[in-house]
Structure 1
Amino acid sequence: MTDTPTDDVKPSFRSDVTVELVKHSAADSDVLWAARVSTAGEQSLEELTKDPERSKGLINYLMRDRHGSPFEHNSMTFFISAPIFVFREFMRHRVGWCIAGDTEITLESEAGNLRRRSIAELYKLWRSGVEDRLPHSAGGVTWHARAGKWMAQVRRGETNHYLGLYENREAAESAVAEFREQHPSTRIRKLESVRRNHVRCYDEETLLAQRAKIVDVIESGVKPLIKITTATGKTLRCTIDHALFTPEGWCKAGELVVGDSVLVAGAAPRPSQALVPPSLRRGIGVWTSMRRETLIKEIDTCHLCGQDFPREQLALDHVVPVASDLLQALDEKNLAPACEPCHAVKSAGEQALAPRGGEIAKAVPDRIVAIETAGEEMTYDLSVEGPWHNFLADDFVVHNSYNEESGRYRELQPVFYVPGEDRKLVQQGRPGKYEFVPGTEAQQEIMERSMQESYIQAYERYQEMLAAGVAREIARSVLPVGLFSSMYATCNARSLMHFLGLRTQHEQAKVPSFPQREIEMVGEKMEAEWAKLMPLTYAAFNANGRVAP
């Protein structure tokens, strides 16, 4: 049963983060086996029974010369508890589950109209918003594959300005920002907002098409890709860890072989019931919501799962779906209480939106005819709302890869972040060259007092709205980013090394990094767990300047 808001819940405060390794398949022998399979074939399996210590020279060679793929055949899943603002940084470095920038995402309007945009374009529009007041100059930061560095360049008017090559993205972005600050412009670019866009997704039980709201669009870094081609000519370029939907369930792209089938956008004959127009559906929804107070008791039972809930956590559900019998849509006898999770799943499956008159949109199997490597380039990913966390990428049904605690389906607990006394409080310098120094006792005192008072007031307003029956997804808007949340993060050794190179400071790092301390705390704990699993790989990572291969 979902928690109910109570008046005696008091906020608590923490200055630490927690990281737990919940499952893994990762060892140094995985690297050796993957490296030798190209020359030894089936005999490379013998490496799994040998002591990897004797082959630490090979691991060091692979790391030094940046042969990255042998470090990808492993997996680690961490459970992380940290402030929300840490996860906003973490999302930029999500590992594995990513697709190429030119991958087209299928968007769907409320009326069922479809259009496609590349995920790189979605990322740009998501970050820029409706009106972008940055100086109107083209260019920016791109990955220079031949040099193995980040290139900064800006075009203003008819002139190209090359700003140089940089070891890390932050330094290149800083150079571009500094140039634009020194060369201001009054021109404004008008860009389309995509913040309210929905993607086409699929009910994973019925395979019928649905809609899901985009939660975030993420740039995930330069990663190696594979290209999957199907019998109908569809192609998808993604990382080996990206999850694709198959007739047998979810499967990583790297585990698929020629002859396997994946689910892609398709159609099936329409059932006999007619679609309910969106405007009529909204009107029925208003009429139904007006009867909540009279038809739902203060404590009532969900007719779908049989559990008891307070009224504010229940909705009125049409027992006979509106799409099945429109005559019963306004019949109070056809209404029964349903908890929000059950109601969301049932409602989403009641009306499939169809692309053509005689058919309804449905995911269908398509056989794989080719799998090949597709180089390295910048990758992206989407995060979409449930209950089905999937979307269409170049017509392939793929999985949303970010799994964080949701404030839509449970009451968020009042645990907030307050930095400890060892956290440096004062920032000096300019962007890209910040330096943090310890604060005074007075600064520490005002920081702790201000944070705690703000947290307490915000949580009281959150509880007040819940008690008044305001939906959790609305009430959570008042909560600050210092609230603790939880998530699962899955990665392989190569992507974890990329994350650690950018989000931890280390004396052996060839390229210095200046991460926010809180995400560095997460990185340090992940690093400690990984070092125990793959000690030879970890040692080679440090010996070669902590640069991901």
Structure 2
Amino acid sequence: MDKFRVEVLRSTPNPQQTIWSAMHQDYCEELVWEQRDTFPDEKKAGELVIKHLLAGGRGHYGPIEHPQIVFNVGYFPHSLMQQIRTHRVGISFDVQCLAGDTAIALKKTDTGINESRSIKALYELGTTDLNIFKTLEIIVLDEKKQTFTTGKIQNVVCSGVQPIYRLTLSNGKHLDCTTEHRLLTTEGWQTMAAAVGLEGSNQPASAHVTMTKSCQLIAWDTAQSFKQVTVEEVEYLTQTITYDLEMQGPWHNFIANGVVVHNSFRYTGQRIIDVADGQRDVEDVFYLRPVGHYDNRQGKKYFYSEAQRDEDKAWCLAACERYRQRINEGLAEEHARSLIPFDARQHFVMSCNVRSLMHLLDLRWKKDAQLEAQKLCELMYEHFEAWCPEIADWYSKNRAKKARLSP
């Protein structure tokens, strides 16, 4: 469970004050916006919300649905995600994309083709000529030799409308991408949001974000050189049509506006093949519980031994090898993936309001809940406490781990 991660992509600022203003509007004849200069501060607003909404037990929970928080959940087993998505939360998966005008570095050819094309142009090219990607080569980074080489595109995908952010770089260039796009930094592969410590809102009325971490990206130029560039500023741009590439491998990256970025995580099963080829550790891709004593709601009590765990790990590796064999024999990914173990590690984005977050904690942080769900709730609560300190403290004292019927 040490790989499990929960990070905050963004959240409503002053959430307790927002709840108080909604509560106040319910009983105020005037427009509360006109009284905004006299709103109680965040701490006092939280205390008033507890007194008049939560502690009173009046069932008036509507106002606490207004503030939103968006989590990026990583490395949890697939079975956990299936459980969580049955609750009143929004979940989506690994949406990592680039703006349509992002320049993709191409290999020079004798036919006069440009050294770069926009990702949108490549998408349109693929829709008119299905064979173009058989010969078209783009620049990629050989991550073992730390040198630039070439690779072929598997597909270019249109990912629909997504919120886009601009990273302004120290070399004068910029990169427009989603928070989830993975970038190669001096600390390894990281999502954009994690790399720069992104905080703030992307709501049109208050579109303001800040970077809280310094970040150096790995960049490329036309001289094929390998260098570092610093992210100097991050700003929210807009929501627009986005695109991404799928690469054939062995290197699943490409050059976008001069920066090394990861290819799409749309399901291709490459990470399964990487395990079979020895390029990834099997436990980076599949989840196995630690050695130890366990029990569950059905009364089963047992010890999961190291020998059993080693056998299960070997079975996961054998499944990866069978998957690679079937892919090489021509099976489609959606067919071959039925051969792999169920609990592949999965990343997802989850959005909650204050009410639905407490609802989730009520049901999945109780003592007889699945251990992995309890760990998720533990990590989420840490962010809840930092975001809504007074409400989270009330929750901890009155509801946490008590399995009460959630509001």
- What TM-score do the two structures reach when normalised by structure 1? 0.39
For residue 23 of structure 1, report the CA deviation from its aligned partner.
Answer: 1.5
* Match in the other structure for 1:218: none
Q: How does 1:362-511 map to 2 (within 5 A)?
A: 406-408=266-268, 411-412=271-272, 414=282, 415-422=285-292, 424-427=293-296, 433-435=297-299, 437=301, 439-440=302-303, 443-505=304-366
In our comparison, the structure showing a higher alpha carbon Rg is 1
Query: After the TM superposition, which of the residue ranges 72-81 and 464-473 deviates more from structure 2?
Result: 464-473
AA in 2 matched with 1:485:
Q
* Match in the other structure for 1:45: 36
* 1:24/1:77 contact within 8 Å kept: yes
Question: Quick one: distance in 1 between partners of 2:330 and 2:155?
Answer: 16
Question: Quick one: distance in 1 between partners of 2:48 and 2:118?
Answer: 60
* 2:46/2:390 contact within 8 Å kept: no
AA in 2 matched with 1:37:
Q
* Match in the other structure for 1:35: 23
* Match in the other structure for 2:394: 540
CA displacement, residues 441-499 of structure 1 (integer Å, 9 cap, x when unaligned): xx413431232011111111222233444433333221212211111111111001111
Question: Quick one: distance in 1 between partners of 2:389 and 2:117?
Answer: 54
For residue 21 of structure 1, report the CA deviation from its aligned partner.
Answer: 1.4
Residues 1:24 and 2:11 are matched in the alignment = yes
CA displacement, residues 203-240 of structure 1 (integer Å, 9 cap, x when unaligned): xxxxxxxxxxxxxxxxxxxxxxxxxxxxxxxxxxxxxx
For residue 318 of structure 1, report the CA deviation from its aligned partner.
Answer: 6.8
Residues 1:92 and 2:92 are matched in the alignment = no
AA in 2 matched with 1:89:
Q
CA distance 1:79–1:318, shift in 2 (3 Å): closer
Query: After the TM superposition, which of the residue ranges 43-52 and 412-421 deviates more from structure 2?
Result: 43-52
Residues 1:77 and 2:65 are matched in the alignment = no
For residue 74 of structure 1, report the CA deviation from its aligned partner.
Answer: 0.9
Question: Quick one: distance in 1 between partners of 2:47 and 2:377?
Answer: 25
Question: Quick one: distance in 1 between partners of 2:157 and 2:340?
Answer: 26
Question: Quick one: distance in 1 between partners of 2:291 and 2:341?
Answer: 21
CA distance 1:523–1:36, shift in 2 (3 Å): same
CA distance 1:488–1:58, shift in 2 (3 Å): closer
Q: How does 1:165-244 map to 2 (within 5 A)?
A: none
* Match in the other structure for 2:238: none
AA in 1 matched with 2:7:
E
Question: Quick one: distance in 2 between partners of 1:434 and 1:44?
Answer: 55
CA distance 1:539–1:484, shift in 2 (3 Å): same
Q: How many residues align?
A: 245
Return 5+ residue gaps in structure 1 as ranges.
Answer: 1-13, 98-301, 309-315, 321-333, 346-385, 388-403, 428-432, 507-513
Question: Quick one: distance in 1 between partners of 2:88 and 2:392?
Answer: 20
AA in 2 matched with 1:30:
T
Question: Quick one: distance in 2 between partners of 1:406 and 1:343?
Answer: 9
AA in 1 matched with 2:156:
C
Question: Quick one: distance in 1 between partners of 2:86 and 2:21?
Answer: 30
Secondary structure of the structure 2 residue equivalent to 1:93 = coil
Question: Quick one: distance in 1 between partners of 2:310 and 2:372?
Answer: 19
Match of 1:319 among 111, 115, 128: 128
AA in 2 matched with 1:451:
D
For residue 504 of structure 1, report the CA deviation from its aligned partner.
Answer: 0.7
* 2:16/2:45 contact within 8 Å kept: no
* 2:72/2:350 contact within 8 Å kept: yes
For residue 95 of structure 1, report the CA deviation from its aligned partner.
Answer: 1.3
For residue 71 of structure 1, report the CA deviation from its aligned partner.
Answer: 0.9
CA distance 1:60–1:459, shift in 2 (3 Å): farther
Question: Quick one: distance in 2 between partners of 1:517 and 1:469?
Answer: 39
* Match in the other structure for 1:282: none
AA in 1 matched with 2:378:
E
CA distance 1:15–1:55, shift in 2 (3 Å): closer
- What TM-score do the two structures reach when normalised by structure 2? 0.51
Secondary structure of the structure 1 residue equivalent to 2:27 = helix
* 2:20/2:45 contact within 8 Å kept: no
AA in 2 matched with 1:458:
A
* Match in the other structure for 1:524: 378
Return 5+ residue gaps in structure 2 as ranges.
Answer: 92-115, 135-152, 160-241, 244-263, 275-281
Identity score, percent: 20
